[in-house]
Amino acid sequence: MALQFTDANFEQEVLKSDVPVLVDFYADWCGPCKMMSPVIDELAGEFAGKVKIGKLNVDESGETAKAYRVMSIPTMIVFVGGQPVDSVMGAVPKQKLVEKLNGVL
């Protein structure tokens, strides 16, 4: 199961993480976001212990979304050492995210 990131815990959970982090910027009303949700949860299980994977609701945590210029959702951003290193926009096949995550391990 994916973690839940917020404006309040983003620095601690993502920016200060010892492992790479995939953040799924989403909203509850977004159709493509709903399509990606089970994929994000699957990846959280498959990469447990190697990559931290979680979701950030842009309606509830708009400051963080704004800080990373998230203009469309879903947007998935990979962070390494507190820095964004890769991103994907829109609903994408699971394999594309697997390749991006394997690329930072």
Backbone angles phi, psi at 86, to 5 degrees: -160, 155
Q: What does the pLDDT read at residue 75?
A: 98
Mean pLDDT of the chain: 98
59-66 — which CB contacts under 8 Å span 24+ positions? Answer: 59/27, 59/28, 60/6, 61/5, 61/6, 61/7, 61/8, 61/10, 62/7, 63/7, 64/5, 64/6, 64/7, 64/10, 65/25
Q: Going from the N-terminus, what domains does the chain have, and what CATH number goes with each?
A: 3-96 (3.40.30.10)
Backbone angles phi, psi at 35, to 5 degrees: -65, -35
Q: What does the pLDDT read at residue 33?
A: 98
List the catalytic residue out of 21, 23, 33, 70. 33
As separate numbers, helices (DSSP H) first and strands (DSSP E) second, the chain gives: 4, 5
List the catalytic residue out of 14, 22, 30, 73. 30
Active site residue 33: yes
Residue for token pair 């973690």: 3
Active site residue 76: no
- The CB-side HSE value for 60 (13 A sphere, CA atoms) comes to 14
Residue pLDDT, tens place only, 10-55: 999 999 999 999 999 999 999 999 999 999 999 999 999 999 999 9
